[in-house]
Amino acid sequence: METISAHGGRLINREMTGVERETLLEKTPALPKLNLRPREVSDLEMIANGAFSPLEGFMCEDDYISVRGNKHLASGLPWTIPVTLSTTDDFAEPLKEGDDIALYADEHILGVLHLQQKYRYDKQREAERVYLTEETAHPGVAALYEQGDWLLGGKISLLNRPKNPAFPTFRLDPSQTREAFKKKGWHRVVAFQTRNPIHRAHEYIIKCALETVDGLLLHPLVGETKSDDIPADVRMQCYQVMLENYFPTNRTFLAVNPAAMRYAGPREAVFHAIIRKNYGCTHFIVGRDHAGVGNYYGTYDAHYIFNEFDPELLGITPMFFDHSFYCKVCDAMASNKTCPHDSSQHVTLSGTKVRELLSSGQMPPKEFSRPEVAQILIDSMLKK
- Ordered DSSP codes for 267-281: HHHHHHHHHHHHTT-
- Terminal-residue alpha carbon distance, the chain: 50
Q: For residue 281, how far is the Cα from the chain centroid?
A: 14
Question: 321: closest CA among 201, 161, 240, 180?
Answer: 201
In the chain, which ranges are E strands? 33-35, 57-58, 86-87, 100-105, 108-120, 150-158, 189-194, 215-220, 252-254, 283-286, 317-320, 324-327, 332-335, 346-347
* Active-site pick, 195, 262, 267, 370: 195
The secondary element (H helix, E strand) that includes residue 129 is none
Query: Residue 353 and residue 331: Cα distance in Å, rounded?
Result: 23
* Active-site pick, 35, 188, 196, 288: 196
- Mark whether 195 is an active-site residue: yes
- CA separation (Å) from 159 to 21, 23, 117? 6, 10, 21
Asked whether 304 and 286 are in contact (CB, 8 A), the reply is: no
Kindly tell me the burial class for residue 166, based on how many C-beta atoms sit within 10 Å of its own C-beta (0-12, 13-18, 19 or more): middle
Cis peptide before 94 (omega within 30 of 0): no
Task: Please name every residue paired with 152 in a beta bridge, in sequence order, or none if there are none.
Answer: 118
Query: Residue 193 and residue 284: Cα distance in Å, rounded?
Result: 8
- Mark whether 70 is an active-site residue: no
Catalytic residue list: 195-196
